[in-house]
Structure 1
Amino acid sequence: MTEHLTGTREGWLAARLDLLEDEKELTRRSDALALRRQALPWVRIDKDYRFETEEGSASLKDLFGGRSQLLVYHFMFGPDYTAGCPSCSSIADGFNGIVVHLQNHDVAFSAISRAPLAKLQAFKRRMGWSFPWASSNDGDFNRDFSVWFTEEEQRKGGIEYNFRREPPAPEPLAGKTVQEWQSAASEGPVAQIAAMTGTDVPTYTRDRPGVSAFVLDEGVVYHTYSSYARGLDSLWGMYQWLDRAPLGRNEHGIWWRHRDAYGRS
């Protein structure tokens, strides 16, 4: 028998209307935060970043594709990975359908990863994705936007991710949860996720996820916004649905997979 509160339709409606007031307030707060994001100062980018794309070598300006705005998803896929991060992959499962809408609203989109383009393209075919995905050629782009770090930084505590400095990563990392070896929150055991990418924990966690926004104004590219870690939750479509399901996220460790891996033993 259920242990959850039950009641009448009238009682449900009264509770729902009370919740509705808080939901409306959250929406108003979200609108206000969006305006504050847009009001952030723009930072001019003069470095000549180069990327490999399906159309060939490209600059950051080229990724705009004639549009004035560019959104970038920093996809965790390092050169040593054999598959993309399953968490990034579950977020990316929602990209195909939205890209065309963004492109028709003066906003370009691209995922960017450090892995070679051929490896990204192979995984893209496996997942059935069509959104633009560029390789940063292991250049400065991922480092400059705080989504890639060196082994020495990891070992000595030189990683600054999500606008905070992490403590040195203890050894061994295998089997540890993110909460046990860094200050930022995470969804569960890192070793399990790392295994899905064909790497160990240190290698896997030197790449990080994020989103960055850029604007092209009078021929000059400016960085306008970046967000990381839990700041990506609103882009993770499955969680927006689970937050509205009767049992919520209802998580016990890592339950998600690459979408073609469900049902495998």
Structure 2
Amino acid sequence: MQPDHPLPKIVSREQWLEARKALLEKEKALTRQRDALNAERRQLPMVAVAQDYRFEGPQGEVRLIDLFEGRSQLIVYHFMYHSDRGEGCDGCSCLVDNVGHQSHLHARDTTLVLVSRAPLAELQAFKQRMGWTLPWYSSFGSSFNYDYHATTDERVAPVEYNYRDQAELERLGLNYHVQGEQPGVSVFLRDGERVYHCYSSYGRGLEMLMSSFHYLDLTPFGRSEGWDGMPDLDGKGMHWTRLHDEYQQPAAVRSCCSD
């Protein structure tokens, strides 16, 4: 069923081609801007990781350097796991569903893993339910999530999310980032036995990892989330992603990634 939303204007092929070429120039300009931004991101300085972080994996306790699996670069996706619900965050789960075959990353000396502050047994059970194969480690009991702002709790550490402190988050009405599990991505580089932190991103900065969003951005209805001129697919003012085995169930509005 199509959303009750105005369709694009109908024009001749010649008019469409003229409009398409005009948009193409803007797309090319954005591509050049993105190339420049990527180059600037690669040139960010890095910080030595002094903490001896320990994680629990299927084979037992491992160190941060072990997550590299012998490669030089490590991408850690900070996956929100909700132990109170016994399942992962809808948005984080959609993102993992979008991850392609890891051979393409491995060929570029890069490893991608998931890390969550939850007992490993719970993560493994949910991983089996979702049918995922990505390596998933538990940071339960370590300060890793707090240090990289993937868990916020002022009782443990000063609150910071997306480079904003608690006062700014509350002023902006982003109170759901003040306490609890948060989504994010962090990048590390290994030089011999030394590990360095190079980059972290949060909130809408994670959209670059969501290939389904980019596919939908090619379509007239876009992401169908009810903002920026897009139709509201479910009539609730915002259409959030769901676990891939729950799309036939009523939607639950859960805010996790914004700004």
TM-score bracket for this pair, using the shorter chain length: 0.7 to 0.9
Q: Matches of 1:249 and 1:209 in 2, distance apart?
A: 20
Counterparts in 2 of 1:78 and 1:4: CA distance versus 1, 3 Å: closer
Q: Matches of 2:137 and 2:213 in 1, distance apart?
A: 26
Structure 2: give runs of 5+ residues left out of the alignment. 226-236, 251-259
Deviations 1:30-57 (A, max 9, x none): 1111111110111001211001112221
Q: Please report how far the alpha carbon of residue 116 of structure 1 lies from its aligned counterpart in structure 2 after TM superposition.
A: 0.7
- Which of 211-220 and 143-152 deviates more? 143-152
Local SS of the residue matching 2:22: helix
Counterparts in 2 of 1:136 and 1:78: CA distance versus 1, 3 Å: farther
Equivalent runs, 1:55-134 vs 2, <5 Å: 55-95=59-99, 97-134=100-137
Match of residue 51 from structure 2: 47
- Name the structure with the higher helix share: 1
* Contact 1:74-1:147 within 8 A present in 2 as well: yes
Are 1:167 and 2:171 matched, yes or no?
no
Match of residue 256 from structure 2: none
Q: Please report how far the alpha carbon of residue 167 of structure 1 lies from its aligned counterpart in structure 2 after TM superposition.
A: 3.1
* Contact 1:90-1:259 within 8 A present in 2 as well: yes
Match of residue 222 from structure 1: 196
Match of residue 243 from structure 1: 217
Local SS of the residue matching 1:257: coil
Q: Which amino acid aligns with 1:256?
A: T
Structure 1: give runs of 5+ residues left out of the alignment. 171-178, 184-189, 191-200
Q: 1:136 aligns with which of 135, 139, 153?
A: 139
Match of residue 150 from structure 2: 147
Deviations 1:142-173 (A, max 9, x none): 0110111116489xxx5211011233888xxx
Q: Which amino acid aligns with 1:72?
A: V
Match of residue 253 from structure 1: 238
Local SS of the residue matching 1:61: helix
Local SS of the residue matching 1:248: coil
% identical aligned pairs:
45
Query: What's the TM-score once normalised by structure 2's chain length?
Result: 0.83
